[in-house]
Homo-oligomer: A and B are copies of this chain.
Amino acid sequence: MDKWKRSARLVDMTQLLLSQPYKLIPLTTFAERYLSAKSSISEDLAIIHEVIHNEGNGELETLAGAAGGVRYIPKVNKAYADDILSALCKRLSDPKRILPGGFLYLSDLLGDTTLIQDIGRIFATLFRGQKIDAVMTVETKGIPLAHATASFLRVPVVIARYDYRVTEGSVVTVNTVSLTSKRMRQLSLSKRSLAEGSRVLIIDDFMKAGGTVQGMIHLLNEFQAEVVGVGVMMEAPAVERVVDQYVSLTSVKTMDIKNQRVEVEFGNFQL
């Protein structure tokens, strides 16, 4: 195989690094792949870092030493994130979303793969720099968001389920109370799905009083796991809230079912 030209190397390295966030790639891997000197590889990495960093899309982090290498830490460009979330607030404020019972229809947004990738990138940016072993969510609607976030953090996803399923093996179950509907439900997590002592980021689509998030926290306690943070796409006003530490991307400010008006603004996140 021939030595690669710098232009081809830059394209290939960009592709390899950006498609594998947080994966440490030894410089030797690049040097061998391109039959190039490590000094040339380092120059290439400096160019890639500069472009990504200047665009606000993250950075390349270089770790020295025998176990060293370079990895891509994704971030979201603040102006881009503001645009994405402004557009999301506008879509959420559409009165056609109001469903009987005062729920908002979200399934189209949660099925929009481009939006979900963007939100995953925003959550990964908000919780970066913390040691995270897994992202947890509850079936069903939180799953796409949890997966998108976890893929940018390069960690696995664990899913708590409302009903016991034969396909989960042995499970740990806790009782959870929806403070909105006053209904009791059981929430289970497969014993095999999470190692004891894991550091876990909770991600969900929607939070009102926080009963579901609290249920997930109780489950995590059973696994001696630690909650690193809680991120929700949308929060709704609640008289009483059982979870006080959370990051919301959007927040329902007004919900007037009688006059079919809903107003959604930015949540409490700080980018």
Binding site for B on A (CB under 8 A): 6-8, 10-12, 14-15, 18-20, 47-48, 50-52, 55, 57, 99-101, 103-108, 111-114, 116-117, 134, 139-141, 143-144, 147-148, 150-151, 154-159, 161, 166-169, 190, 192-193
A-B contact pairs, 24 of them (CB 8 A): A7-B47, A8-B50, A8-B51, A10-B10, A10-B11, A11-B47, A11-B48, A12-B51, A14-B15, A15-B51, A20-B114, A99-B169, A107-B167, A107-B168, A108-B192, A111-B159, A113-B151, A113-B156, A113-B157, A140-B140, A140-B161, A144-B147, A147-B147, A147-B148
Can you name the residue of chain B whose Cβ is closest to the Cβ of A105?
B169
Would A112 and B7 count as touching, CB distance under 8 A? no
Write out the residue numbers on chain B whose beta carbons fall within 8 Å of the beta carbon of A107: 158-159, 167-168, 190, 192-193
A35 to chain B, nearest CB (A): 15
Nearest chain B residue, comparing its CB with the CB of A11: B51
A155 to B114, CA, bound (A): 8
